[in-house]
Structure 1
Amino acid sequence: MRLHLTRKKNLSFVLEKVQTLKFENRPTPQLQDPHDVLVRVKFTGICGSDVHYWHAGQIGPFKVEQPMVLGHESSGIVEKIGNKVTTLKVGDRVTMEPGEPCRRCDACKVGTYNLCPDMAFAATPPYDGTLAKYYRLPEDLCYKLPEGMTLEQGALVEPLSVAVHLVRRAEVSPGASTVVFGAGPVGLLCCATAKAFGAWKVVAVDIQPKRLEFAKQYGATSTFLPGTVTAVENAARLVAESGLGNGADIVIDASGAEASINTGIHVLRAGGTYVQGGMGRDEVNFPITAACTKELNVKGSFRYSSGDYKLAIELIASQKVNVQDLISDIFKFEDAERAFEQVKAGAGIKTLIAGVEE
């Protein structure tokens, strides 16, 4: 794909239809409320959901039915502010929380705004994403970056917030043993966050040896490569090799794979906690008897909610979680399609796309 646009008013990277990407000049977003800000996007990470929409056109009930700007893991610089904005000024460096809830429903009122039925989430149909020159958000969804924190790191606050939400849902506490299935970006960040929360053992599980090698250097205390045996057999070997005694206190699944889900349930001790974050097939076989007889706490986890973004920023700023090492490559905006192809091929850990150049 070649870029033949000379006036880049609001150059955007658009999923025109399934498996078809293009660059498009779109109108610059206008402030819709006195509390709005306009952000000049500087870095955007590619998420697995972006790639999935590109190739499959649908995730669960969310289906691409019209052209959509991709991207939702972004940071940038404040370009313009509404006349009632008090916490930000033009030129501030910010990370962007890309979901705007209604703020009025019961879910929003109790702080679980990630469950808002009217959530307008970037790059989730029908809402446009952040892979554009400019993006508009309310001021309270733009978080000023601390001194010393880079815009590149700011783009990783979004996936770290997903991990923070998962770990908080799991109620990881000092001394807990935690097993994380899936050593992609979110799984790796779950390992690092669980360790920051005080977990004494953090076991990363994946079917790719290279991912496990990275996980052990990054946030896991040990790793496990499943064999081609039953979930019960894999679980027994995992528990024995990892020194988990009667089983793990906590299991977090960031893979969505049925085999991982089944193994995870069998890995837990009686009374343990299981949290599902990865989304694979809509329906899977589930070991319900084991979950019942062990009285497991089984929970779902979706995006992030009140306090997760602020905590993610603090974890990075305090150097308790290192997101910089996850960045494998940074592509120019005009090379966005090549960046997507690299992510689809499974190369690297986290790929960023730089903002539109003048």
Structure 2
Amino acid sequence: MRAVQVVGFGRPVAVVDRPEPKVEAPQDVVVRIAGAGICRTDLHIVEGGLEAAFNQRLPLTLGHENAGWVEAVGTGVPHLAVGDPVIVHPAVTCGFCDACRRGADMHCATWRFPGVDGWPGGYAELMLTSARALVKLAPGTSPAPLAPFADAGLTAMHAVRRLTPFAGTGTTVVCLGSGGVGQIAVQLLKILTPARVVVVEPDEARAQTAYELGADEVVTLPAEAAADAVLDLTAGHGAQAVLDLVGEGGVPEQALRMLAKGAVYSIVGYGGGVHIEHLDMINRELTIVGNQIGTHAELGELMALAAAGRVTLGTETFPLEAAAEAMAAVAAGQVGGRAVLVPE
């Protein structure tokens, strides 16, 4: 089968021929990929930025935003049948550790992260995963457009759920960035909270999309320069929550400046950092929250919202063979929503 692999850090990905995955364990499921979303994490992987964090060895088949159809199932998977449309949770988990028992899939003691940690991901025609990772979609669902919800959507759902205690009536939530994750986050903030939603997005097209998706205000400035504008919008008090989808450059420092007393700085984007002044943290009683992917239950809830048409995301499709070109377009900011690789 065809697969897209990282064959050298700092080099373009390559389309290679790989053996088809086979069912071996009772809970195994092989998914025929309909679409695989391109995440900025994939770009970081290609650059070598996650080599140490995940002990990566090359070659590595990318792809952790996946959806498709069941191709084959193990003997312990009675609830799925060949041809069922599914979306794939990014984590392969044990089901028995304390974290799994609590439903915190991403904290599993022995989890695997296909497409990131060496387990082959979904930039391929077929992918091996676990039945625990799959959310069954309604019959007749087209899986490809939903692929980015497996991470971009799931991360947004998890992050928004965790900041809702700070986003009550009369509050302001700032979303830094309006790419794929930000577009979903804006919709979820309007569904799950009564807060005023302010989006910081310098790109005119993405700013317009943010308005169309329900943002109450859009600040068309780079996130590095938006703190004063946010303070002006909040009469100098600041926002009760800032959801940082950028996380690099001078953005974290400006995000902290935007916070009101008792507020939360919710981090999704990464690559940068900020110096924390303990006295400031104490005086303003701030909270900092890091967000990974969400839970299996959150992915199921998100799919219900998507099926009802309450959460949408614009996608641009590329053939599997054009993975390098598609990733370059994402890196250059030329894709407004989410890029999706489609095997043909």
**Fold match, TM over 0.5?**
yes
Alignment partner, residue 46 of structure 1 = 38
Q: For 1:314, give the aligned amino acid.
A: A
- Mean CA deviation greater in 124-133 or 67-76: 124-133
Q: In structure 2, how many angstroms separate the alpha carbons of the residues matched to 1:92 and 1:228?
A: 42
Asked if 1:353 is matched to 2:317, the reply is no
Alignment partner, residue 336 of structure 1 = 323
The alpha-carbon deviation at position 120 of structure 1 amounts to 0.8
Q: In structure 2, how many angstroms separate the alpha carbons of the residues matched to 1:265 and 1:57?
A: 25
Alignment partner, residue 286 of structure 2 = 296
SS at match of 2:243: strand
Alignment partner, residue 179 of structure 1 = 174
Of the three residues 67, 71, 81, the one matched with 2:63 is 71
Of the three residues 257, 262, 265, the one matched with 1:274 is 265
SS at match of 2:34: strand
The 5 A counterparts of 1:148-227 are 149-158=141-150, 159-171=152-164, 175=169, 176-226=171-221
Of the three residues 261, 283, 292, the one matched with 2:252 is 261
SS at match of 2:15: strand
Residue correspondences, number:
339
Alignment partner, residue 285 of structure 1 = 275
Q: In structure 1, how many angstroms separate the alpha carbons of the residues matched to 2:268 and 2:3?
A: 29
SS at match of 2:252: helix
The alpha-carbon deviation at position 277 of structure 1 amounts to 1.2
Q: In structure 2, how many angstroms separate the alpha carbons of the residues matched to 1:314 and 1:137?
A: 22
The answer on whether the counterparts of 1:336 and 1:353 sit within 8 Å (CA) in structure 2 is: yes
Stretches of structure 1 that go unaligned for 5 or more consecutive residues are 1-9
Q: In structure 2, how many angstroms separate the alpha carbons of the residues matched to 1:127 and 1:14?
A: 12
Q: In structure 2, how many angstroms separate the alpha carbons of the residues matched to 1:228 and 1:40?
A: 39
The 5 A counterparts of 1:43-122 are 43-58=35-50, 61-122=53-114
Asked if 1:15 is matched to 2:6, the reply is yes
Alignment partner, residue 7 of structure 1 = none
The answer on whether the counterparts of 2:173 and 2:198 sit within 8 Å (CA) in structure 1 is: yes
With over 3 angstroms needed to count, the CA separation of the structure-2 counterparts of 1:197 and 1:149, relative to structure 1, is farther
Task: Render the CA deviation track for 1:18-62: whole Å, top value 9, x for unaligned.
Answer: 114222221211213222221111111111011221133536613
SS at match of 2:129: strand
State the TM-score, normalized to the length of structure 2. Answer: 0.90
The answer on whether the counterparts of 2:12 and 2:324 sit within 8 Å (CA) in structure 1 is: no
The sequence identity of aligned pairs, in percent, is 27
Alignment partner, residue 6 of structure 1 = none
Q: For 1:54, give the aligned amino acid.
A: V
State the TM-score, normalized to the length of structure 1. Answer: 0.86
The alpha-carbon deviation at position 116 of structure 1 amounts to 2.9
Q: In structure 2, how many angstroms separate the alpha carbons of the residues matched to 1:243 and 1:298?
A: 20
